[in-house]
């Protein structure tokens, strides 16, 4: 049965979707994957889900538009291999929904959406393929603005731009394919705000940060905080990723299972979702948790548990939105500096939430979700 209480900002998978309808409906009715997906979409509050199939180019795409109440929906276009079509659609639904929350909490004049292109074994004509996708975006009349994501780059955005104005991150815009440095910047700002809030310090000098996962974002975060004088411990299952942090930032290394109990000031989960659970929270010695991973809480209740234990949790969907902020600001203003300014502003949004959490004695995750939900309402 789906957990609707507290309206989790992020619903991890379609397994969260109510599946008990068999028991209450006619016993001979067989429910299909399509039923489950539709119920999942309904639960997440979807309005528009669009499909395009083009035999000639091999394009098979979904655009899931989650919310239009704040403005046109924006979100990347990912092209990856999927084992099944329902997995692709599930991905589009889950990611589009997350984009809405990220956009709302960061005050972007946009709703969230996601395009998922099911990567064909071979794309015979890449230009025709992305032009067709551009036509698809254009047919949506500006309700969806597309951007780079896994498997696409500014070069593909250039092709799409031949067919529609509703695209950002083209080569002309100066955007990069990799949003990780921008994501890391947002996480760093939330850490700075947390360090100020918890310890009254304006600098990260001497702050010990334990980073779980030294991949794209983890590495960039280590670089950012090292430059500001922080001490770093890293854990990763990839030895090369660890070595790079040791060589460049003098990072200490710890085995993956021990990262939770490191006596650091900050624990930064930058590897996997659902890492914050009863077992790991019990081990935490850090008083701040702030990282880039999506869906860090394995259940929304764990936000409250951390709050009760005096651990300041920086809500993931607020602080890892640097990439989304960047593409939205580029589309709206075409100004890289403005986008950096807005990502840096995560400091203030986070700080306000930390303060409100203390004032109201409620978890930061609960407050952030409530704010985002309010902002996604039609009147907001
Ligand atoms: P990545 O794959 O480049 O890095 C993840 C790293 O975690 C890898 O080095 C991997 O070896 C390591 N890892 C895997 N299992 C581990 C474990 N058990 N213990 C320690 N390390 C482990 O991914 P990324 O792009 O850096 O993203 C990291 C997280 O941030 C993901 O959850 C992603 O969804 C989220 N995120 C990323 C961005 C972005 O801009 N890349 C934006 C928003 C959210």
Token pair listed for 345: 């502003």
Domain ranges of the chain: 14-173, 180-313
Matching residue, tokens 């850490």:
191
Nearest partner of 95 among 12, 35, 160, judged by Cα: 12
Q: Which CATH code for domain 180-313?
A: 3.40.50.720
Take atom 9 of ligand 1 and give the residue whose Cα is closest. Answer: 215
Q: Which of 236, 273, 274, 275 has most ligand 1 atoms within 8 Å of its beta carbon, as the pocket-test mutant?
A: 236
Dump strand ranges (E) for the chain.
48-54, 59-65, 73-80, 111-118, 144-148, 208-212, 231-235, 252-253, 266-269, 288-289, 312-313
Query: Which listed CATH number (3.30.930.10, 3.40.50.460, 3.40.50.10860, 3.20.20.100) goes with 14-173?
Result: 3.40.50.10860
pLDDT digits (tens, 9 = 90+) for 118-161: 999 999 999 999 999 999 999 999 999 999 999 999 999 999 99
14-173 against 180-313: fold identical: yes
Residue 49 pLDDT: 96
Strand partners, 328: none
- Cβ pair 293, 213 in contact under 8 A: yes
What does the DSSP 8-state code read for residue 84? S
For residue 46, the CA-to-ligand 1 centroid distance in Å is: 28
* Atom number of ligand 1 nearest to Cα 256: 19
The three-state secondary structure class of 82 is coil
pTM for the structure as a whole = 0.91
For residue 365, the CA-to-ligand 1 centroid distance in Å is: 21
Active site residues: 114
For residue 218, the CA-to-ligand 1 centroid distance in Å is: 7
Residue 9 has pLDDT above 90, yes or no: no
pLDDT digits (tens, 9 = 90+) for 80-127: 999 999 999 999 999 999 999 999 999 999 999 999 999 999 999 999
Residue 14 has pLDDT above 70, yes or no: no
| Residue 328 pLDDT level (bands cut at 50, 70, 90) | very high
| Residue 242 pLDDT level (bands cut at 50, 70, 90) | very high
pLDDT digits (tens, 9 = 90+) for 295-307: 999 998 999 999 9
Q: Which of 94, 270, 275, 319 has most ligand 1 atoms within 8 Å of its beta carbon, as the pocket-test mutant?
A: 270
Take atom 32 of ligand 1 and give the residue whose Cα is closest. Answer: 293
- Cβ pair 151, 117 in contact under 8 A: yes
SS (H, E, C) 154-178: HHHHHHHHCCCCCECCCHHHCCCCC
For residue 217, the CA-to-ligand 1 centroid distance in Å is: 7
């Amino acid at each position: 049965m789906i957990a609707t209480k507290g309206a989790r900002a992020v619903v991890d998978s379609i397994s969260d979707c109510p599946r008990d309808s068999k028991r209450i409906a006619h016993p001979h009715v067989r429910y299909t994957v399509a039923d489950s997906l539709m119920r999942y979409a309904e639960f997440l509050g979807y309005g528009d889900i669009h499909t395009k199939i083009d035999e000639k180019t091999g394009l098979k795409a979904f655009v899931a538009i989650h919310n239009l109440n704040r403005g046109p929906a924006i979100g990347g276009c990912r092209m990856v291999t999927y084992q099944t079509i329902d997995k692709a659609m599930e991905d589009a639904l889950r990611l589009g929904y997350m984009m809405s929350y990220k956009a709302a909490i960061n005050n972007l004049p946009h709703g969230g959406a996601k395009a998922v292109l099911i990567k064909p074994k071979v794309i015979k004509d890449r230009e025709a393929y992305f032009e067709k996708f551009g036509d698809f975006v254009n047919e949506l009349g500006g309700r969806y603005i597309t951007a780079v994501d896994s498997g696409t780059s500014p070069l593909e955005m250039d092709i799409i731009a031949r067919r529609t104005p509703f695209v950002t991150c083209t080569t002309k815009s100066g955007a990069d394919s990799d949003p990780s440095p921008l994501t890391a910047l947002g996480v760093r700002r939330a850490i700075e705000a947390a360090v100020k809030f918890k310890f009254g310090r304006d600098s990260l000098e001497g702050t010990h940060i334990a980073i779980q996962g030294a991949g794209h974002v983890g590495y960039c975060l280590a670089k950012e905080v090292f430059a500001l004088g922080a001490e770093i411990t890293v854990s990763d299952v990839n030895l090369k990723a660890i070595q790079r942090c040791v060589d460049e930032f003098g990072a200490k290394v710890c085995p993956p299972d021990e990262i939770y109990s490191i006596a650091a000031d900050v624990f930064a989960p930058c590897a996997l979702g659902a890492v914050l659970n009863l077992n790991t929270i019990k081990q935490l010695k850090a008083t701040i948790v702030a990282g880039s991973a999506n869906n860090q809480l394995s259940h929304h209740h764990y936000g409250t548990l951390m709050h009760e234990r005096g651990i300041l949790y920086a809500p993931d969907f607020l602080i890892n939105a640097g990439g989304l902020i960047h593409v939205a600001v580029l589309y709206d203003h075409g100004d890289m500096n403005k986008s950096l300014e807005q990502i840096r502003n995560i400091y203030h949004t986070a700080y306000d939430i930390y303060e409100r959490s203390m004032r109201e004695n409620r978890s930061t995750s609960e407050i952030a979700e409530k704010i985002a939900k309010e902002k996604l309402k039609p009147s907001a």
